Amino acid sequence: MALILFLSSRSSLPGDSPAVAWLGQYQDEVGHLVEYGILGMLAYLSLFPSLGGRRACMLTLGLGVVFSLGDEAFQSLIPNRTPEFKDVVLDMVGVVSSLVLLGGIVPRLTRYLRKSG
């Protein structure tokens, strides 16, 4: 969350770096998907042990929406940055994608660990 807010506080992002230049015009979109995908994974994995699957999933989605809206509101205060609804949608796609990925991996990993242990 701190990294996302740090990047949001920048008036301009490093677009000339070879690490991201190959993305061309899609740097912003991919950035949102990756940032919030990682945030979704970390939130879910931290909530899962105490809340279980369904509750952790719903809370992760709620936290993702609230944080994304707050992030866009924060960006409105930064020079040369503008809040956009499409960014919130991309953020939610990142969170949901991570939950779908984890929904396929976590149960299989749990079964595997139970069998081997």
Global confidence as pTM: 0.79
Q: Identify the three-state secondary structure at position 89.
A: helix
Residue 104: phi, psi to the nearest 5? -85, -30
Region 1-21: mean pLDDT is 71
Residues 97 and 14: their CA atoms lie apart, in Å, by 26
Select the more confidently predicted residue: 108 or 74: 74
Confidence (pLDDT) at 19: 64
Region 94-100: mean pLDDT is 94
